[in-house]
Amino acid sequence: MTALVGDIGGTNARFALWRDGQLESVRVLPTVEYPRPEDAIRAYLQGVGQSVEALQAVCLACAGPVSGDDFAFTNNHWRLSRTSFCQDLGLSDLLLINDFSAMALGMTRLREGELIEVCPGQSAAGRARLVIGPGTGLGVATLLPVGDGMWQAMPGEGGHVCLPIGTTREAALWARLHEKLGHVNAEAILSGGGLLELYRTSCALDGEAPRFTSPAEVTAAALTGDAYAEAVLEQFCVWLGRIAGDNVLTTGAQGGVYIAGGIVPRFVEFFARSGFSKSFRDKGNMSRYFDRVPVWVVTAEYPGLEGAGVALQQLLEGSLGGR
């Protein structure tokens, strides 16, 4: 069977062929260069020497809530109609899943060397696991064990919960963010654009002249010893800890926490010694709940694509999927 899987975020669309339970011919295409996902898929297939007619199944993991026929991507300009998509590409059906449902299922395919433990612990048997990851946005999903070594991914929109406040400094930052944004959700800070927003808001609060114009510049400065950039990146890690901890309490995810996405793996050593661990566990009389909850940073290159393949395979085999 020739199947295509895709992991589509705000900036990039990753595509691969899925054959015999394995990824083949992975390519990454910038979403801005194509008016529709169908156009990007045709370009991908042409690039890997496959015809559209050869496709027998497609699974796309997409940022945003998935339901109904029409889908609008959360962080890019693409829109998709299942009906039109299938007609355009000659398919009988399209499996659409939330991008972090796919990311969660991808955790079941991790290989040796693709996890770095940053908070030691012991996974509680039979308990849920949390998958959270800052990237273009903030993705959150829950991975549930369902017996016989199978897992079910539960989608959600946890990146859009309210940004929590734990210190007077955070309250002051939140107040400035609220003046600018209105509703302040977690993704407003815990994302690539959010890191830059946090830096600019911190500068405004402290009367500092901004020197950096991209999240990459802020991160690079922090990692080379710039004290102010370090403080901003530290606050980013602390806020990620607060949100991750809140989600563990909500879902009962004592099986562990996977930190995925494209941002944190770029500064794992900084992250491991940051205030993430303290803020993750700082939950008053429920702090002991976290005593044995492990946290890992995921360094796998394409876990979302792997998860899309798992979802497609489970559907075709009649097993539980993340649709």
Binding residues are: 6-11
The two beta strands, 150-155 and 79-81, are unpaired
Cα 159 to Cα 153: distance, rounded to the nearest angstrom: 16
Residue ranges of the annotated binding site for ATP are 6-11
- The torsion angles phi and psi of 291, rounded to 5 degrees, stand at -55, -35
Contacts for 79-88 with beta carbons within 8 Å, 24 or more apart? 79/36, 80/36, 80/37, 85/37, 85/38, 88/38
> For residues 261 and 133, is the Cβ–Cβ distance under 8 A?
yes
Q: Are 319 and 280 a contacting pair, CB within 8 Å?
A: no
Residue 194: in which H helix or E strand, if any?
helix 192-206
**DSSP bridge pairs for 297:** 116, 259
User: Which token pair is 82?
Assistant: 């299942």
The span from the CA of 214 to the CA of 120, in Å, is 33
CB 21 within 8 A of CB 313: yes
Cβ-count burial of 87 within 10 angstroms (0-12 exposed, 13-18 middle, 19+ buried)? Answer: exposed
The rounded distance, in Å, linking the Cα atoms of 194 and 197 is 5
